[in-house]
Amino acid sequence: MKRLWLLFAQTTTVLLATYFVVLTLKPQWVGGSAVPAGAPESISIIQAAPAPAGSAGGAPESLSAAVRKAAPAVVSINTSTTMRHPFGDDPWFRFFFGDAGAQQQSGLGSGVIMSAQGYVLTNNHVVEGADAIEVVLPDARSAAAKVIGTDPESDLAVLKIELDQLPVMVLGNSDQLQVGDRVLAIGNPFGVGQTVTSGIVSALGRNQLGINTFENFIQTDAAINPGNSGGALTDVHGNLMGINTAIYSRSGGSLGIGFAIPVSTARQVLESIIRHGQVVRGWVGIEPGELTPELAQTFGVRVEQGVMVTGVLGGGPAAQAGIRPGDVITGIGTQPVRTQSELLTRIAGLAPGQAVDFSVHRRGQQLALRVTPAQRPRPHQPGAR
């Protein structure tokens, strides 16, 4: 009896030990669903289907289609300039300092192919003074470029290259831009290769920055760096909205404040240079001033928007039409005038010799004076007479 009890106890001990081992290592063998304490909880994961091309998977629409449309027409521009010491040809200078020789200085920028004929638009400061200009396309083709014309007053220049089957930028309507619209900046910053950045329109009509004579900039926070100058600012559909021109920076890098010339201005400059070899602008001979409450009270002005005429050139188109100091110009043709930059832009866009009505407010009276603009004199260039 004692032997049977000992056998039963040993058998029970072995079975219990086997049960605990199986329960620990292979719980599914005993049909239970319990998870040992401290074990990680099982999680069911549903993998989302791959997002279709051109989609951002629930986020705003991808900008890849806009890049594919616009980027092929944005080129890199490499320039080289021979720098000579101003006294390099003086015998005494060469006696004491030897032959300083000529040094090659290189520069880089970006440009936009505007037509299948090979016209490329860029900034004037990118190519100014260059002895040789090379345009490099995103498809690795390159060509020497010829300067067709420059316009320092808008900081734009038109080049021409001789290549076949050129991609061409599609022009948008910069007048329809609104603050908050998404935009892309495409160019060749620091010479690293074509780069695309995105942002929004931060402001419109920026002026009095001391960059150009005619300032009506689009401000954007899309990253613009050295080398982006002359590149494209496009909308989310890949249409050209402006030519990237300048950045506000204390370090030389992007701080989220960049400026672009609106395509409406760029197109006017392009067409005028191609047609006339220079930009032909209207001119009426007035000195504009800000319409302040003090001036409005002094001259009896009862309008809230417009530009005060502070001076009129004797014998000029404005004087001949009867415009006087103290008048407030509120419109030119069918377009309103609210700021000095708008006034300068409107006048510059007038065709010389074609009369247009100026809406003028004078001491409580609203007048329509017909002015025949002349051609704006070319700015004085160093060494010119």
The tens place of each residue's pLDDT in the chain, 385 residues long, gives 666 666 666 677 767 667 665 555 555 555 544 444 444 443 332 333 343 443 333 334 788 999 999 999 999 999 998 766 566 666 666 655 665 555 778 889 999 999 999 999 999 999 998 999 999 999 999 999 999 999 998 899 999 999 999 999 999 988 889 999 999 999 999 888 899 999 999 998 887 666 777 778 899 999 888 889 999 999 999 999 999 988 776 666 667 788 999 998 899 899 989 988 888 889 999 999 888 787 777 777 777 788 989 899 999 999 999 999 989 999 999 888 888 878 888 898 888 999 999 999 988 888 999 999 999 887 654 433 3
Structural domains in the chain, CATH included, are 67-84+102-160 (2.40.10.10), 174-276 (2.40.10.10), 282-375 (2.30.42.10)
CA atoms of 42 and 213, how far apart (whole Å): 69
Q: Which one from 76, 110, 174, 229 is the annotated catalytic residue?
A: 229
CA atoms of 70 and 169, how far apart (whole Å): 6
Q: Which of 147, 175, 171 is nearest to 160 (CA)?
A: 147
Given the structure tokens 């002349």, which residue do they identify?
374
CA atoms of 176 and 235, how far apart (whole Å): 11
Q: Exposed/middle/buried for 368, CB within 10 Å: 0-12, 13-18, 19+?
A: exposed
Instruction: Assess whether 42 carries a catalytic annotation.
Output: no
CA atoms of 135 and 108, how far apart (whole Å): 10
CA atoms of 295 and 376, how far apart (whole Å): 28
Instruction: Assess whether 221 carries a catalytic annotation.
Output: no
Is residue 154 within 8 A of residue 212, CB to CB? The reply is yes
Strands 356-362 and 365-371: antiparallel
Q: What residue type is 211 in one-letter code?
A: I
Tens of pLDDT, residue by residue over 212-231, are 777 788 999 998 888 899 99
Q: Which one from 76, 110, 125, 327 is the annotated catalytic residue?
A: 125
Is residue 322 within 8 A of residue 369, CB to CB? The reply is yes
Structure tokens at 21: 């081992």
Q: Which one from 76, 110, 155, 174 is the annotated catalytic residue?
A: 155
Instruction: Assess whether 154 carries a catalytic annotation.
Output: no
